[in-house]
A and B are shown apart, each in its own frame.
Chain A
Amino acid sequence: MQEIVMPANRPEMALLCLLIPLLPFIGFALNGLGNRKLPKGLVGLIGCGTVLASFLISVYLFLDFTSSGSRPYTVDFYDWISVGSLQVGFSFLIDQLTLLMLLMVTGIGFLIHLYSAGYMSHDEGFGKFFSFLNLFMFSMLLLVMGSNYVMMFVGWEGVGLCSYLLIGFWNKNTNYNNAAKKAFIMNRIGDLGFLLGIFLIFITFGSVSYPQVFAEATKVAGVDTPVLIAITMLLFIGAMGKSAQIPLFTWLPDAMAGPTPVSALIHAATMVTAGIYMVVRSNVLFILAPTTLDVIAIVGLVTALVAATIGLAQNDIKKVLAYSTVSQLGFMFLALGVMAFSSSLFHVLTHAFFKALLFLGAGSVIHAMSNEQDIRNMGGLKKALPITFLTFLIGTLAISGIPPFAGFFSKDELLAHTFQHSKIMWAFGVLASFMTAFYMFRLLFLTFFGKFRGTEAQRSHLHESPAVMTIPLIVLAVLSAFGGFLGIPSVFGSNHIIGSYLSPLYNYAKGINATPFEPMHLSHETEYMLMGISVAVAIVAIIIAYVMYVKKETVPVSEDTRLSPVHNLVYNKYYIDELYNTIIVRPVMWLSTTFYRFVDVVLVDGIVNGVGRFVTFSGRTLRHAQSGAIGFYVMVMVFSVVLILFLNFFIG
């Protein structure tokens, strides 16, 4: 019944585990130190090679793990923090979840590194870019491999730092720097929640190491106790910041200021899914707090809906994809909220495939269009960019949920679980998925169909990207097309590979509440109906988009035209940025200005300057005592000595 986590007693495995995060770190050090001195070819080789090596080691670990009975083990390196009863080891936990994340992070990471070698080849900060990317890989690997919450937190902060560095990669542009700061500060809010959650876990369970915490948690009497709700809510606040959920989601669309491969790697495929990883990792704690799960489901659903509606009206190719990412993350949290942890992870995986693909495709388009990002100035790129078009089409079909592409299986499974939990949530989920299909095809049609709307200079420059960029696209397209077969629903009589692979993760949780982990008890007819509805909805959305943007050749209006109120509201992202500005940023700015004016200038400066002025004044006054007459000095000295003697003998 209980999951046995044993230490690995094979030293060569420990070394291999250590090499996985260490190799990208070495790449970071080499590329960072040799930033401008190393030739670009070598930088690319170090950057991609280290990640590829990590990927190959991960594959080996995975094969070794599955062939030797799939028993999780920990790899202890040394005692990192040892204070009183707090013992934090520098150790890795290798289990199903870690291996899945490892494969995903290193595999997609490698493809994106490869793509970056082409995409960034003209940039002067090539070495800097690769060193940051490698540092990101290192932090992300630490995050998923660590065997306790403190190590996860270290990785968590590391990826936040790299996200900041890479969003502001072109740091000569103030807007980009502001976007980077915004991402960093919003993540800080979430991180504070996460940190408090870790403290509370330590206070409650006396440890921060996963196996111990989970073993302790199963012994806790009672479900939904205040302390459990507090722990899970705080952890969820952390996840909210990192995975861009309402209310901390506005940083992610702005994060698109970074180079496109960064958007693909950090802000679509890996870092933003860290929140989901954390919740799945702590599934025992969340199972114990159903209230938090309800909150998660609602937040996820609202995020999915809100972000999808905003996505309908955006005209920047990367912004559309960014809102789509927020919306898909909302779906994943919805699945977590209804306790469909494996489905959520399945969607993380397929989403990583198709969203990385879409972002890289968008990057290829931007590259061909000489850094144009506005879809109103694109159109008809199908001919000029055939490979990009085909792969982008596959990605779009996958995200829209058209069978047999990857997104269909994961999203359908997720929605089926939601249906089982609550019909209303399911209906809203289907609505969000309808909008997803619509805005994704709107993007596709406006970019690749119709007539070219750009300038003459852009038209003459149009070209398909080099092979180093198209190969990752093709690989990701294949994964997006067939990745879904990892989780074929049981209706089709096949084995759900991901589901059965991940099921040992929930051994502890099953001891508390086994219901969520039983196979779905929907009748086959209902399941077919659900699938039919979601596919039909997607097809309707595609047809509407086709009629609007291909048949009628509608082009979104330019900036200065007046929009209808609803359109305007959506186009301006519900004025959420403005709202935050008014209710949070402005008061804080006002407060700090006030503190500056009164506390700093008046009080602190007043005291310091006052002391200085007093000394000057007393010096100026007392200098008259120094007459220069030596006789006077000597007299004063003698009288003082006499006075001291007098006091000494007759008073003291």
Chain B
Amino acid sequence: MNYIPEVIRTIPLEYYLYFSAALFSIGVIGVLTRRNAIVIFMCVELMLNAVNLLLAAFAAYRSDPHGQVFVFFIMAVAAAEVCVGLAIIVMIYRNNRSTDVQLLNHLKW
């Protein structure tokens, strides 16, 4: 059984960077362009995971466990956030019969 950081190090660091940059960009574009609240939500998760991937990769390459610990924190916070966010989306759906964020402009002053 190989030691996990060694497994990670079998792929060059640049690849991780390109991949997570691509994931992050997909997330950003998704947030900007999609109108369905649930899809936007998933795109946000995508961005978070891009960052997590990068943290794990760097932690492995630099033999520094701090990055991995940080990943756990992000996961916990993201889970909590999802919990609240989905609840809000459910409430929006009950009110609007839709999850289209464009319909949410009642919230302005």
Contacts and interface: CB of A to CB of B under 8 A. Distances in A.
A629 B102 contact: yes
Interchain residue pairs A-B with the least CB separation, the first 7: A628-B105, A628-B108, A630-B101, A626-B108, A623-B109, A634-B31, A628-B107
A631 interface: yes
Given A634-B32, A635-B32, A627 B108 contact: yes
Contacts, number: 26
Interface string B20-31: 000000001001
B9 interface: no
Nearest to B107: A628
Interface in A603-652: 623, 626-631, 634-635, 638
Given A628-B106, A638-B31, 20 more contacts: A623-B109, A627-B105, A627-B108, A628-B105, A628-B107, A628-B108, A629-B105, A630-B101, A630-B102, A630-B104, A630-B105, A631-B32, A631-B35, A631-B101, A631-B102, A634-B31, A634-B32, A635-B32, A638-B28, A638-B32
A405 to B, nearest CB: 91
Q: Is the interface of A mostly helix, strand, loop or mixed?
A: helix
A628 B104 contact: yes
A630 B106 CA distance: 11
26 contacts: A623-B109, A626-B108, A626-B109, A627-B105, A627-B108, A628-B104, A628-B105, A628-B106, A628-B107, A628-B108, A629-B102, A629-B105, A630-B101, A630-B102, A630-B104, A630-B105, A631-B32, A631-B35, A631-B101, A631-B102, A634-B31, A634-B32, A635-B32, A638-B28, A638-B31, A638-B32
Dominant SS among interface residues on chain B? helix
A631 B32 CA distance: 6
A64 B26 CA distance: 105
Interface residues of A, number: 10
A627 B102 CA distance: 11
A635 B101 CA distance: 14
A635 B31 CA distance: 9
Nearest to B108: A628
Chain B's interface size range is: 10 to 19
Contacts of A634: 31-32
Nearest to B29: A638
B93 to A, nearest CB: 15
Interface in A124-169: none
A314 B105 CA distance: 86
Interface in B1-58: 28, 31-32, 35
A20 B102 CA distance: 87
B77 to A, nearest CB: 19
Contacts of A638: 28, 31-32
Contacts of B28: 638
A307 to B, nearest CB: 75
Interface in B80-109: 101-102, 104-109
Contacts of A627: 105, 108
Contacts of B105: 627-630
B101 to A, nearest CB: 4
A638 B109 CA distance: 23
A629 B103 CA distance: 8
A198 B31 CA distance: 79
A638 B29 CA distance: 10
Contacts of A628: 104-108
A635 B28 CA distance: 9
Contacts of A626: 108-109
A629 B106 CA distance: 9
A290 to B, nearest CB: 82
A143 B82 CA distance: 79
Contacts of B107: 628
Nearest to B37: A630
A638 B28 CA distance: 8
Pick from A626, A627, A629, A630 the residue with the most CB of B within 10 Å: A630
A634 B107 CA distance: 15
A626 B101 CA distance: 15
Nearest to B105: A628
Nearest to B104: A630
B103 to A, nearest CB: 10
B79 to A, nearest CB: 22
Contacts of B102: 629-631
A630 B102 CA distance: 7
A628 B105 CA distance: 4
B53 to A, nearest CB: 19
Nearest to A641: B28
A2 to B, nearest CB: 84
Interface string A582-608: 000000000000000000000000000
Contacts of A635: 32
A271 B43 CA distance: 89
A631 B35 CA distance: 8
A79 B35 CA distance: 80
A631 to B, nearest CB: 7
A631 B34 CA distance: 9
A628 B106 CA distance: 7
B40 to A, nearest CB: 8
B108 to A, nearest CB: 3
B52 to A, nearest CB: 19
Nearest to B35: A631
